[in-house]
Amino acid sequence: MFSDCCADKREGEILNPDETLTVERVKHYLSITAKARGKATSLASNPNEESMLKTLLSMADDYANDAEYFLNQGDLIRAFGAINYAHAWIDAGVKLRLLDGHGDDVLFTLP
pTM for the structure as a whole: 0.81
Domain ranges of the chain: 4-8+21-100
Whole-angstrom distance, CA of residue 12 vs CA of residue 63: 29
Q: Which residues are within 8 A (CB) of 14 and not within 5 positions of it... i.e. 6 or more apart?
A: 7, 8
Fold classification of 4-8+21-100 (topology level):
Substrate Binding Domain Of Dnak; Chain:A; Domain 2 (1.20.1270)
Report the pLDDT averaged over residues 56-80.
97
Predicted confidence (pLDDT) at residue 13 exceeds the cutoff of 70: no
Q: Is 12 helix (H, G, I), strand (E, B) or coil?
A: coil
Count of residues making up the chain: 111
Rounded Cα distance between 60 and 110, Å, is: 18
Q: What is the mean pLDDT of residues 37-49?
A: 97
Residues 6+ apart with CB under 8 A from 61: 37, 86
What is the three-class DSSP state of 103? coil
pLDDT at 9 over 60: no
